[in-house]
Amino acid sequence: MTTDAPILSVSDLFVKRGGVPVLDLPAFSIRKGETVGLIGPNGAGKSTLLLALACLIKRERGRILFHGQVVSTRRETFAYRRRIAVVFQEPLLFDTTVYANVASGLDIRHLDRQEIGERVTRRLDQFGIDHLRNRSARKLSGGEAQRTSLARAFAIDPEIVFLDEPFSSLDPPTREGLLEDLHRILKETGTTAVMATHDRLEALRLSERMAVMRDGEVVQIGPADTIIHHPTDEFVASFVGMETILTGRVSGCGVGTIRVDLGVGELEAVGEARPGEAVRCCIRPENVTLQLPAAREETSARNLFPARVEKIQPLGLFHRVLLDCGFPLTAYVTSQSISDLNLREGAGVQAAFKATAVHVIRHEK
Amino acid sequence: MDMILEGLKQAFYLLVTFDPEVMGITWLSLKISGTATFFSLFFGISVGTVVALTEFPGRRLVVSLINTGMGLPPVVAGLIVTIFLWRNGPLGFLEILYTPTAMIIAQSLIAAPIVTGISLASIQQLPRNLRLQILALGANRLQMVWILIKEARLPLLAAVMAGFGGVISEVGASIMVGGNIKGYSRVLTTATVMETGKGNFEIALALGFILLLLAFIINAVLTQVQQRQRPR
């Protein structure tokens, strides 16, 4: 459904709050039919960007083009707002029934009763809340309320829907179900969507493209896969889950591989760089495996380091193990492995990871 | 003790037999205070909403003036209205001092800040993003304000009740600008003061009982409002 023509494009967007710049965006565009995830820590400016894109907050400057047409005057802004929808973190329902809530956008547009009825019923059905249609919005669970809010947004058949952390206040199973339904409905309707979230996995599941934000700026934007696997800087790398980030200097180059001198050891990585160049090596904890120090089992991992267990932090289904290999390294290990390897703080192990598991960020900029 | 019991008995008798004088006084009270509340609603809800939704220099001062006005002593309101309507006063030519109209004006002056203050607070306590949500649903400014008022309807009902409760029970302004003229400007509170002064406790008690009943109804509604929850 994605086409190349941008449905929305902005340039030189600048927003201040209380005299402090909170958003500075040279250029940004959204293609028709795609889902863009905005990720970043709290206070990075995700919500501000979303509200600015929806023309709901005042901007210091910035040009917004919707289908190539400028959105600037009061009249243009109003017309634009009638073709988009926004869903906030809080469902912000009106004190009436579920049905009337979902119908509210259509009521505002003065559509006739019958059409409202048809469209509302379709959305209630789609979001699985038809049985709640006559229930008061005051008597809904968190998940039901957010479904109502989403149905209300989709009822107006928006061309773009802006979602501001829509699942943050829901418990995991509820969030899971809603995430799946939203994904399906976005695909079914071909609606363009921009979703802000601080959960990179949530963004990864819904979006084709992602933008990582920090301090009111977009630090990297690109296909979701690229962001997750090829972050361009340290901040993005750590935000997308690369917990180990090491600084080193390229000591040798092979065919498509490099050796990096960390000062306290050398590791091998897949990538391109010039000898002598300073680089950062990022490693995901789930790509590090641990084995007994005496084990001489065959491993295809090119990087093998003797390590000492510094700390073990339980994370529910698995454990985060902080290792000292001369350099710090983080690994995720199942509870089963913890007991198999008899891991405890101070114990010796071998840490292994493949050359392909090392993401290299070149430092020249 | 006998006097109190006897008074209660008499009061009860006056009430159940719908004594014409007591009923007349009650009806006039409801009419005057109801009209005054009605006027103060127009003023209070519109001013309260505007102040709640807009930013302008001196806004804080306006808000504190409104809050001060909520505690305006009825006698002060009565004094102000009297001065204005006095024969030589700026509005003296209207010749409406010692009429129900003057009482309505004075009571509106008392109720308006109460209604304004509570309206302001009830619009302001709506979730911050609700306004943006309504605009994002495609509403124009007028539609947005209307939806916000509808959302705040329960606390606004509280504003109505508080305004009405404030004026139906005040005596200072009514006696000053109404004059407590029998069958014309005599209301529950002014009559209670007079009958008590004359020692007619049974009538005073009957009137007091009606006032209490009204206060009870108002509070029952307010409590009901306060116990309701906002939707998520």
DSSP per-residue string spanning B72-91:
--HHHHHHHHHHHHSTTSTT
pLDDT at A337: 87
Question: Quick one: how far is CA B119 from the chain centroid?
Answer: 14
Predicted confidence at residue B123, as pLDDT, reads 94
Residue A121: pLDDT over 70: yes
Give the pLDDT confidence score for residue A302 in this predicted structure.
83
The nearest CA of chain A is from the CA of B165 a distance in Å of 26
**Which residue among A51, A85, A93 places its CB closest to the CB of B231?**
A93
- Res A307: pLDDT: 92
Biggest distance spanned by C-alpha atoms of chain A: 77
Structural domain B2-224, CATH architecture:
Orthogonal Bundle (1.10)
Nearest to A104 among B127, B137, B231 (CB): B137
Rounded alpha-carbon distances, angstroms, from residue A83 to A33, B91, B173:
14, 54, 55
Using the predicted structure, report yes or no on whether residue A328 has a pLDDT greater than 70: yes
- DSSP H helical ranges for B70-152: 74-85, 100-124, 128-136, 141-151
**CB-CB under 8 Å, B132 with A137:** no
- Range B3-12 average pLDDT: 82
Q: Residue A51, exposed/middle/buried by CB under 10 A (0-12, 13-18, 19+)?
A: buried
Residues of A with CB under 8 A from a CB of B: 51, 54, 56, 78, 81-82, 84-86, 88, 90-95, 104-105, 108-109, 136-138, 140, 142, 145, 152, 156, 162
User: What is the number of residues in chain A?
Assistant: 365
> Taking a C-beta distance cutoff of 8 angstroms, is the pair B74, B193 a contact?
no
Question: For residues A103 and A118, is the Cβ–Cβ distance under 8 A?
Answer: no
A105-114, A222-231, A285-294 — most confident range: A105-114
Report the chain B residue with the minimal C-alpha distance to residue A169.
B232
- Residue to mutate among B133, B134, B141, with most A CBs inside 10 A, is B133
Determine the average pLDDT of the residues in A144-150: 96
Helix (H) or strand (E) run with residue B13 in it: helix B2-16
**pLDDT the model gives residue A364:** 57
Residues in a beta bridge with A319: A314, A333
State how far the Cα of A285 lies from the Cα of A283, in Å rounded to an integer.
6
pLDDT in tens, B130-163: 999 999 999 999 999 999 999 998 888 889 889 9
Q: Residue A209: its pLDDT value, please?
A: 95
The per-residue pLDDT for A362 is 86
B29: enclosing H helix or E strand: helix B20-53
Question: Average pLDDT for residues B43-47, to the nearest whole number?
Answer: 95
Q: How far apart are CA B54 and CA A136, in angstroms?
A: 31
Q: Which of A214, A280, A284 is nearest to A243 (CA)?
A: A284
pLDDT of residue B15: 84
Q: Which residues of A touch B130 (CB under 8 A)?
A: 92
Residue B215's pLDDT is: 82
Count CB pairs under 8 A between chains A and B.
65
**β-pairing verdict for A348-353 and A303-314:** antiparallel
- CA angle A243/A365/A230 to nearest 5° reads 40
Structure tokens at A301: 């991992």
Q: Considering chain A, what is the average pLDDT of its residues?
A: 92
Within 10 angstroms of residue B27's Cβ, the number of other Cβ atoms is 11
Angstroms from B45 CA to nearest CA on chain A: 19
Partner-chain residue, chosen from B129, B135, B140, that has the shortest CB–CB distance to A90: B129
**Contact at CB, A108 and B143, closer than 8 angstroms:** yes
Quote the tokens at residue A348: 């010796």
Residue A206 scores a pLDDT above 80: yes
Average pLDDT of the residues in A176-199 = 94
Q: Which of A123-137, A270-284, B28-42, B97-111 has the lowest mean pLDDT?
A: A270-284
**Mean of pLDDT values over A222-247:** 90
> Of A212, A268, A217, A221, nearest to A240 (Cα)?
A212
Q: Nearest by CB to B138, from A90, A92, A105: name it.
A: A105
Rounded Cα distance between A76 and A182, Å, is: 29
Q: List Cβ neighbours of A325 (8 Å cut-off, separation of 6 or more).
A: A264, A265, A305, A306, A307, A351
- Mean pLDDT over all residues of chain B? 91
Q: Could you give the residue ranges of the DSSP H alpha helices within chain A?
A: 46-53, 74-81, 98-108, 113-126, 142-155, 172-189, 200-206, 224-229, 234-239, 335-340
Q: What percent of chain A is predicted at pLDDT more than 70? A: 97
Q: Hey, of A95, A97, A147, which one would you mutate to test binding to chain B, going by the most B CBs within 10 A of its CB?
A: A95
Whether the predicted pLDDT of B59 surpasses 90: yes
| pLDDT value of residue A297 | 63
Residue that has been written with the tokens 């102040």 in this structure? B51
Would you state the pLDDT for residue B229?
A: 67
Q: Round to whole Å and give the CA distance between A260 and A281.
A: 8
Nearest to B232 among A56, A84, A91 (CB): A91
* Smallest Cα distance from B143 to chain A, Å: 7
pLDDT band at A365 (very low <50, low <70, confident <90, very high): very low
Cβ–Cβ < 8 Å for A62, A11: yes
Residue A294 has pLDDT above 80, yes or no: no
Residues A46-78 pLDDT 10s: 999 999 999 999 999 999 999 999 999 999 999
Check: CB of residue B158 under 8 Å from CB of residue B118: yes
The pLDDT tens digits for B185-225 are 999 999 999 999 998 888 888 889 889 888 888 888 878 77
Q: Domains, chain A, ranges and CATH? A: 6-238 (3.40.50.300), 242-362 (2.40.50.100)
pLDDT value for A265: 87
Indicate yes or no: CB of B133 within 8 angstroms of CB of A145: no
Contacts of A93 in chain B (CB under 8 A): 231-232
- pLDDT > 90 in chain A, percent: 75
Band (pLDDT 50/70/90 cuts) for residue A359 is very high
> In whole angstroms, what is the distance from residue A284 CA to residue A238 CA?
9
Q: Measure the CA–CA gap between A312 and A201, rounded to whole angstroms.
A: 24
Report ipTM (2 d.p.). 0.85
Greatest mean pLDDT range, A115-124, A173-182, A304-313, B207-216: A115-124
Helix or strand run (H / E) with residue A165: none
Q: Residue type for B217, please?
A: I
For residue A296, pLDDT beyond 70: no
Spatial neighbors of A320 by CB under 8 A, at least 6 apart, are: A243, A285, A312, A313, A330, A331, A332
Q: What angle do CA A142, A145, A150 make, to 5 degrees?
A: 125
Q: Cβ contact (<8 Å) for B129 and A88?
A: yes
Q: What pLDDT was estimated at residue B11?
A: 81
